[in-house]
Amino acid sequence: MKVNHTRKFKRKSGLSLVEIMFAISILGVVVAGVMPMYVQSSKILMSADTKLDVNDEIRKTTDQMVAEAREADAFLLYDNYKGAWIDGDFVNFRSDAFHGLGRLRDGESGKFLVLLFYGVDPYPDDSTPAPIEKIIGIYLDADETQDTGPVRMFLDEDLDSELAIEENLPSVSKMGTHDIIIDEMTGLLDEDIFYNFGGSSIMLSGKIKESNGSQIETNLYNFTVTPR
């Protein structure tokens, strides 16, 4: 009996070069269609995360402003760090002729807020007010005709009780040298950022931008505080 030892091999089927190229082409079309959506989604997520970070930083700053304002005993509001509008003219309210005349009243708005902190009154029964031991100034660093700029803040505890409050304020030459607390803000109160509400409260309103790799514009920001 003869035994046939010849093995039969089946030919394995595979992809031809044409089929592989066709599959790669289809994959490329799919990737090309999906990639812009992926990139756009990534940009949206990154922008949202950045905006949250910026808003968090702004919140910390404004929380500090609110805390300082609530601890203050009183406040004064002026048109601008450089001066004030009086009878249609922009004047230096620090000069002797205009002391006190540049202070804005109920219903008026300005770019320069001064918080006053009184010390212990040595004569509480007389009409003389307690001495001012500290002032904090917060201002929009912009000229009187502008509504956008950084917001700066200064602290002054070296005061001369014999001088008027305006004379104790840093000179006009100091404008723009104080610490920036908000990179850029646009005033929304007739181009101002502070509003004297009832003569007892301060309202801040503005559109805030912060630099965090790129300019990120936040939502409008408003708050009202009343010194103690």
What is the domain range of residue 90?
A: 51-225
Looking at the domain assignment, is residue 30 inside a domain?
no
Handedness of CA 48, 60, 158, 70 (dihedral sign): positive
Looking at the domain assignment, is residue 18 inside a domain?
no
pLDDT-flagged residues of the chain (< 50): none
Q: Residue 92 has which token pair?
A: 């230096």
Contact 206, 220 (CB under 8 A): yes
Looking at the domain assignment, is residue 91 inside a domain?
yes
pTM of the full structure: 0.75
Which pLDDT score, from 0 to 100, does residue 177 have? 95
Looking at the domain assignment, is residue 142 inside a domain?
yes
Q: What is the dihedral of CA 66, 70, 75, 77, to 10 degrees?
A: 20
Looking at the domain assignment, is residue 155 inside a domain?
yes
Looking at the domain assignment, is residue 16 inside a domain?
no
Which pLDDT score, from 0 to 100, does residue 100 have? 81
Q: What is the dihedral of CA 10, 16, 22, 25, to 10 degrees?
A: 110
Looking at the domain assignment, is residue 33 inside a domain?
no
Q: How many domains does the chain have?
A: 1
Closest CA to 57 of 222, 220, 209, 224: 209
Which pLDDT score, from 0 to 100, does residue 226 have? 81
Among left, alpha and beta (phi > 0; psi -120 to 50; other), residue 48 is alpha
Looking at the domain assignment, is residue 148 inside a domain?
yes
Which pLDDT score, from 0 to 100, does residue 37 have? 72
